[in-house]
Homo-oligomer: A and B are copies of this chain.
Amino acid sequence: MTELEQYIKSYFGVVKQDELATIGSLFKSTTLHKGDYFLKTGQRCDKLSFIQSGLLRIFVSTENKEVTQWISTKGYFVTDISSLVFGGPSRWTIQTLTDATLYTINRTDYERIGELVPKWHELEKLFIVKCFTILEDRIFSHLSMTAEERYHFFFENNRELFNQVPLQYIASMLGMTPETFSRIRKKQIS
């Protein structure tokens, strides 16, 4: 059983063995090297990947600066869901921060997975709702917290990330400059 199948099983419990196997067979193992691009802004996103290992950074480059939207980790899916579902150009660029192993389904298979695995749409909905909730919480954090509070909140829930990726990316993701991040961090350590 692949990690993806195990993950789905542990997360949803009741999924028929054959459905699980079909899902597993449609997602092919792929590897990326550190720095490889998973997707670039403007491209149509034609794949959905489950991260078995590695870290991917989702960001946008604007005129003068780069904004990191999120860093995706092991056990989560990565894609531009809007582009995948509606077919428009991707807003994000997605690049690996480390070597990575993914299970990837291409657009063709993605578009027929619902026929092959009737339960797929429901499972997918659950994944999306889970991520939706994370986004809601992030917005709430911007409406009601200071930079320092956002830092602490994120740090408590994602300690391990702090010694795996350049901190400037975490700073950007939390909506502050590297300098502010550094000063908050200094306070916390001492």
Binding site for B on A (CB under 8 A): 60, 62, 65, 67-69, 81-82, 85-86, 91, 114, 118, 121-122, 124-126, 128-129, 131-133, 135-136, 138-140, 142-144, 172-173, 175
Contact = CB atoms under 8 A, between A and B. Distances in A.
A81 B129 contact: yes
By secondary structure, the A interface counts as helix
Contacts of A82: 129, 132-133, 136
Contacts of A138: 139
Contacts of A125: 85, 121, 124-125, 128
Contacts of A128: 125, 128-129, 132
A70 to B, nearest CB: 8
26 contacts: A67-B140, A67-B143, A68-B143, A69-B136, A81-B129, A81-B132, A82-B132, A82-B136, A85-B125, A85-B129, A86-B129, A114-B122, A121-B125, A124-B125, A125-B128, A128-B128, A128-B129, A131-B132, A135-B136, A135-B139, A138-B139, A139-B139, A142-B142, A142-B175, A143-B173, A143-B175
